[in-house]
Every structure is written in structure tokens, then in C-alpha cells.
Copies of this chain bind each other. A is one copy, B any other.
Amino acid sequence: MIARTPKPPYYAVIFTTIKNSVDADYDTMAVEMEKLAREQDGFLGIESTSGSSGGITVSYWKDLKSIEQWKNNHRHLLAQQKGREKWYNSYKTRVAKVERDYGFERSEKE
């Protein structure tokens, strides 16, 4: 779940969604998009969770060029179009440069 990203700087795309009408096509496409994203140049990791109030997916990328290429991927453009036509009530995408990160992992012995 927690992406194993390299040392900063790198980029994050924060995609926050409120769903509208989700069907079987949505689930199929979501799985396809995550698989396809992982195959793109510059992909570093992805974290995603969703609840009743909405969903947040954060994908991590090497640079702006890799984000732009993914945004314009043929299958991804189709998914974006279907998202606006049907699946989402609203969404927001934010492109951000990760400047620093830190974390915590529980020791096995605790």
C-alpha cells in the first residue's frame, strides 16, 4: 500500500474523486488503468483508497514528462472520458513536486 518511492525530488499526482454511477465497466477499467500505469516510463508507485465519502489515488512519477505521457495515453484518455461521462460526480487532479518525505515502520520485535 505504501509506495516505495526513491529519494526526493519526484512528482505526485493526487487524484481525488466523488463517484457518480459506478458499474462493472468501472471496476474493469480501474484494474486496467493501474496495470497500464505501472508499465509507463517514469512510474514510481501508486497508493489508492476509497470510502463512502470518495476516493484518493496518488501516483508517483519521475518527472513532468512521464506524467504528461501518461495523461495522453490512448487508453487512459478513453478512461478519462468515461469518467466525465458517467463514473464521477466530480474530481480534482493536482500535480505536485515532492520535496521531502519521511516515514515510520514498526520494528518486527515490538
Contact = CB atoms under 8 A, between A and B. Distances in A.
Nearest to A83: B104
Which residue, of A14, A91, A98, has the highest number of chain B Cβ atoms within 10 A?
Answer: A14
How many copies of this chain are found per oligomer? Answer: 2
Interface in A67-109: 83-84, 88-106
Interface string A10-51: 001010101010000000000000000000000000011111
A80 B101 CA distance: 15
Interface residues of A, number: 41
A84 to B, nearest CB: 5
Contact of A103 (B58, B90, B102, B106): B90
B93 A96 contact: no
Contacts of A18: 1-2
Contacts of A20: 106
Contacts of A101: 92-95
